[in-house]
Amino acid sequence: MTTGEILKLLPYSEPFLFVDEIIEINEKGCQGTYGFRKDLPFYRGHFKDQAVTPGVILTECCAQIGLVCLGIYLLHNEGQTKSGNLQVAMSSAEMEYLKPTFPEEKVRVVSEKVYFRFSKLKCKVKMFNSHNEIICQGTISGMLKREQDG
């Protein structure tokens, strides 16, 4: 499965798609990037004098790249992405925020699979800024499966 095919299977679209590219993906983890454009709607109201990316959006970006993209890859390896819509539900996230992320920042998310069984995936994730500093890190878990026909 190519990275382009994985991106097409993501169940998100603008303005809630936080994946620009997948740099690397394998059975152990995923690495990808996203650029936070200054015209994104949440910046208009998140601090009026200095826009900052909300932590929930940073978590979502980590989940989309580090959990969902990896989950699609792993499901494909099990033969489960051939038909039906992908269903995704984040079940838990424990994140630590270390640095602010401002508009126009390109981030890189690196995930490491902790386990994948019974459609549940748990990953350790880290987000880095353009200076290779850790913005946030933590663990994210979710359920991923394809909707059955009929």
Dihedral angle over CA of 134, 135, 140, 144, nearest 10: -100
Strand partners, 21: 33
Residue showing tokens 């838990």: 92
Tell me whether the omega of the peptide bond preceding residue 15 falls within 30 degrees of 0, making it cis. yes
User: CA-to-CA distance for 107 and 101, rounded, in angstroms?
Assistant: 9
Q: Considering 42, 46, 80, 119, which one is annotated as catalytic?
A: 46
Residue 129: CB atoms within 10 A of its CB come to 17
* Burial grade of 140 (CB within 10 A; 0-12, 13-18, 19 or more): buried
46 catalytic, yes or no? Answer: yes
The total number of residues written for the chain in this structure = 150
Residues annotated as catalytic are: 46
